[in-house]
Amino acid sequence: MAARSSSGERPRVCEVSLRRPLQPMSQKFKLCIIHVWFGKWPEWVDLFFRSCAANKSIDFLIFTDSELRESMVSENIHIERVKLSDLLERLSVAVNLPQIVSHSAYKMCDFKLAFGLAFRDYLGSYTHWGVCDSDLVFGNLDNFIDKSVDIFSTHKGFISGHFFYIRNTSFFNNSFKLIRGWRRAMLLPEYQGLEEGPWSNIFIPKSLKAKMMGAAFRFLRGKYKIVDAELFTTPHNGIPWADGTDQYPDHWIYEGGRLTAVKEEAVLEVPYIHFMNWKRGSKYLPNRYDRTLWDEADLTRCEAIWREKRIKIDSTGFTSI
């Protein structure tokens, strides 16, 4: 059931259809970010959607079976209500893997690379498409977006699976097929990390063999532009902070659609904060931490303060200031 506003009316969420007609490709930069979520929304999801809505130049396409919420009401947020089984069927057709219908929702991470094929009927008018996770809060992405790239990552040396975007062309939409053993990896029920591992190694090569393959691709199809700048989006992940130390900021401030990281007297604007390693039970927390920051935090406070003008994000959770 859709959430109701304070007036008692249902929020007018923009829902779209699986039979959406394909639109002509725009010549002007146009980006669509796709997010897939099944099950109960996390406590901070209203602030996530608020930060999506603030980025008016970008469209967000959400596939979910979860309830509609007032925070989703925005012209640039489009909701597709869909069952996991139906979405898996769509993906299986796109990549010709009929056995994936029993996969879990988390396995969807390995299929992010195939979204350009699976959702091509939604993406016809976009020059670029990308993905994001919901364990983040966006700042002003316009201050960081590069409109000329073929692949954009917010981490140096690999493609950031929690947020990246690519050029909407046949080559890049099919580029995951360059991964050796991609069919087997997608058939396995466990997450294989295809986007940050094997696919990254194709376009941001580390091994000698991958570098030779990359040179061959560029020779055959011409130059392409990859941006993999470290934008300090994911604290407590083992990557040094902007000042070169392992000490991360004290807190982050969301205000006026901008997000700033505050470390003592230093303030740094960032495109978003990804609190992957703050959540309870994170599988990716570096060994030097004995527990996640939010083990004891009351995250439900975010549900009450997500509309506030100025919000602090730190180890205690979310606070209106």
State the chain's mean pLDDT as an integer: 89
Cα 189 from chain centroid (whole Å) = 21
Q: Which domain holds residue 192?
A: 14-231
Domains in the chain, number: 1
Report DSSP letters for 231-249, one per residue.
Answer: ---STTSSS--TTSSSPPP
Nearest-angstrom CA–CA distance, 281 and 292: 7
Is 144's pLDDT higher than 70? Answer: yes
H/E element holding 215?
helix 208-221
Q: Is residue 9 part of a domain?
A: no
* CATH number of the structural domain spanning residue 150: 3.90.550
End-to-end Cα distance, the chain: 32
Backbone angles phi, psi at 122, to 5 degrees: -90, -25
Rounded to whole angstroms, the Cα distance separating 104 from 100 reads 9
Summarised one tens digit per residue, pLDDT across range 230-277 is 999 999 999 999 999 999 999 999 999 999 999 998 999 999 999 999
pLDDT of the residue at 210: 56
Q: Is residue 307 part of a domain?
A: no
- Domain assignment present for 187: yes
Q: What are phi and psi for residue 117, nearest 5 degrees?
A: -85, -45
Residue 6: inside a domain, yes or no? no
> Residue 74 has which token pair?
């925005």
User: Does residue 111 form part of some domain?
Assistant: yes
The overall longest dimension of the chain from CA atoms, in Å, is 62
User: What pLDDT is recorded for position 264?
Assistant: 92
pLDDT digits (tens, 9 = 90+) for 171-189: 999 999 989 999 999 999 9
Least confident of 2-6, 31-35, 190-194: 2-6
| Joined tokens for residue 15 | 């829902």
Instruction: Determine the pLDDT at residue 212.
Output: 62
φ, ψ for residue 56 (rounded to 5)?
A: -65, -25
In a domain, 184, yes or no: yes
Tell which phi-psi region holds residue 186, choosing left (phi > 0), alpha (psi between -120 and 50) or beta.
Answer: alpha
Helical H segments across 13-62, by residue range? 45-54
Predicted local distance difference test score (pLDDT) of residue 205: 82
23 domain-assigned: yes
pLDDT digits (tens, 9 = 90+) for 87-102: 999 999 999 988 787 8
Instruction: Decide if 259 contacts 311 (C-beta within 8 A).
Output: no
* Contact (Cβ atoms closer than 8 angstroms) between residue 76 and residue 56: yes
Q: How confident is the model at residue 291 (pLDDT cuts 50, 70, 90)?
A: confident
pLDDT at 217: 58
* SS3 of residue 320 by DSSP: strand
pLDDT for res 224 = 83
More confident residue, 25 or 36: 36
The answer to whether the beta carbons of residues 140 and 253 sit under 8 Å apart is no
In a domain, residue 304? The reply is no
pLDDT score, position 307: 97
- Over range 27-33, report the average pLDDT: 93
40: its two tokens:
């109960």
Specify the pLDDT at position 101. Answer: 79
Confidence of residue 290 (pLDDT cuts 50, 70, 90): confident
For the ranges 8-12, 30-34, 47-51, 52-56, the lowest mean pLDDT is seen at: 8-12
Lookup: tokens for 67: 């309830």
- The model's confidence at residue 10, banded by pLDDT at 50, 70 and 90, is very low
For residues 264 and 250, the answer to whether their CB atoms sit within 8 Å is: yes
Instruction: Kindly report the backbone phi and psi dihedral angles of residue 63, in degrees, each rounded to the nearest multiple of 5, phi listed first.
Output: -105, 125
Alpha-carbon Rg for the chain in angstroms: 20
Q: Cα separation of 23 and 17, whole Å?
A: 14
Round to whole Å and give the CA distance between 175 and 120.
Answer: 15
CA distance 40 to 147: 34
